[in-house]
A and B are shown apart, each in its own frame.
Chain A
Amino acid sequence: MSDSDLLTTPLDPLHRQSGARMVDFAGYAMPLQYQGILAEHLHCRAEAALFDVSHMGQAILTGPDAATVLERVVTGDIAGLKAGRQRYTLLTNESGGIVDDLMVANLGAALLLVFNAGRKHIDAAHIRAILPPGVTLETQFDRALIALQGPSAADILAAIAPAAGTMRFMDAITLDIGGVSTTITRSGYTGEDGFEIGVPATAAASFVTELLADPRLHWAGLGARDSLRLEAGLPLYGQDIDATTSPIEAGLGFAIGKRRRESWNFLGGAAMRAVHDHGPTRRLVGLSAEGRAPVRAGARLQNRDGLLLGQVTSGGFAPSLQEPIALAYVRTDHAQDGTEIFADLRGRLVRLHVTPLPFIPHRYHR
């Protein structure tokens, strides 16, 4: 695909001015890095980082009993989601697999849904297929979305939007900031405290420029976003989870609401319940490696005797830990913390251990 075929986000000119290296991600020209992945990663953990995630899809669901309607295709308790709160949930298919993982926020008058970039059109069609007359899903895929993440994020945002400073983890509000209509949630995908802010496309560049006036805030690209989420033990759709993955084996059982487990009355619920009741044959686990050689996605895992145990789905060097880490599916009987596992790395065996997730503690503002 040539550069000109790629979609761009409303912040594209700012990225290029900031020296970003742009790459094709889900059909969008997106910043991979600015100063360097390591520096951006560490700055997010130490201070604050700004990510353009406008390629993700925002959509508004409205109408009578919209929450109950949505529950037909998601695992979460959406009807029980209070106004002003957000929840991580899973869009399901008939076989109990994951169509996408998404955020749903109750904004009072409407539900705000945030889809993964590569799945947003599929998600919208999947949801629209079950909507009764009167309930509508309005996609806002041209709207900008930025993630402000890190221990200084609240301080930086509160300087221009004081109301955001008093939010707690997974709060969701709509807020007028200097005449710009924004949606703000206190959440993110780095393991740090922070916010995701939806902004109209035309106002995005000036809003971001105002935030970046704070010298503590630096741009960070997709490279750092990936290493941050991996350290935080958060699965990436298309890599660690997909339409064939059961949430049970992916360790996402927490996203199935307590009330929802009583009836499993959502698309694929029966299949998911069967995995839950019988126990999965494989589990997504964290692995830490000895030495410095990263073990990457696709690496085959085995025991000392060469018995195949599974495969790495995400792997890399953890900048904050200064050691290689990975997410992998392994046979359930080898998924206990501390289990020794070997990866075949260029014909040489590298020793790994099953490690509790997350690799570094989450620092959410609860």
Chain B
Amino acid sequence: MTETRFTQDHEWIRLDGAEAIIGITDHAQSALGDVVFVELPEPGRKVAAAEACAVVESVKAASDIYAPLAGVVSETNPALTDDPALVNKDPEGSAWFFKIRLDDPSAFATLMDADAYADLVKSL
């Protein structure tokens, strides 16, 4: 099983070769509440690290989703368009948002590991 890393913005990232799979954490979906709409980036879009490139809308509010690392969007998850509530049901599994072909796959190692993220959530 590949390692999962995390960001301050409560996103998770898994690496598959030079491609990163990105979603939001269970903590994030719980804080957002019922998700009713997800707006995903166009495949082929070039994104910088920390660039807002997707939006998740809960009943309460809209929140930006950021590209954790620089690269090119290679794929988005069609299941989220059909069933946005999947984000609440399986946030760290089938409800991934998009994939990015990374400019520099080694940058993955600069992201928070599971322990560091657990500490972050505990501190909130």
Binding site for B on A (CB under 8 A): 32-33, 36-39, 41, 223, 227, 292-294, 296, 316-317, 319, 346
Contacts and interface: CB of A to CB of B under 8 A. Distances in A.
B37 A36 contact: no
B55 interface: yes
A36 B33 contact: yes
A223 B39 contact: no
A223 B59 contact: yes
Contacts of B86: none
CB-based closest 5 A-B pairs: A38-B34, A317-B36, A37-B59, A292-B37, A293-B37
B62 interface: yes
A37 B37 contact: no
B60 A223 contact: yes
B36 A294 contact: yes
Interface in B45-66: 55, 57, 59-62
Nearest to B31: A21
B57 A37 contact: no
B34 A37 contact: yes
Contacts of B62: 294, 296
A41 B34 CA distance: 12
A37 B55 contact: no
A223 B36 contact: no
Contact of A36 (B34, B55, B61, B84): B34
Contacts of A227: 59
Nearest to B60: A223
A165 B60 CA distance: 34
B33 A37 contact: yes
22 contacts: A32-B60, A36-B34, A37-B33, A37-B60, A38-B34, A39-B34, A41-B59, A223-B33, A227-B59, A292-B36, A292-B37, A293-B39, A293-B57, A294-B36, A296-B61, A316-B59, A316-B60, A317-B36, A317-B37, A319-B59, A346-B39, A346-B55
Contacts of B34: 36-39
A292 B59 contact: no
Contact of B37 (A39, A223, A294, A319): A294
Given A292-B84, A294-B62, A296-B62, A317 B57 contact: yes
Chain B CB within 10 Å, residue with most, of A33, A38, A41: A38
Given A227-B59, A296-B62, A316-B60, 19 more contacts: A32-B60, A36-B34, A37-B33, A37-B34, A37-B60, A41-B59, A223-B59, A292-B36, A292-B84, A293-B37, A293-B39, A293-B57, A294-B36, A294-B62, A296-B61, A317-B36, A317-B57, A317-B59, A319-B59
A38 B84 CA distance: 13
A37 B59 CA distance: 7
Contacts of B84: 292
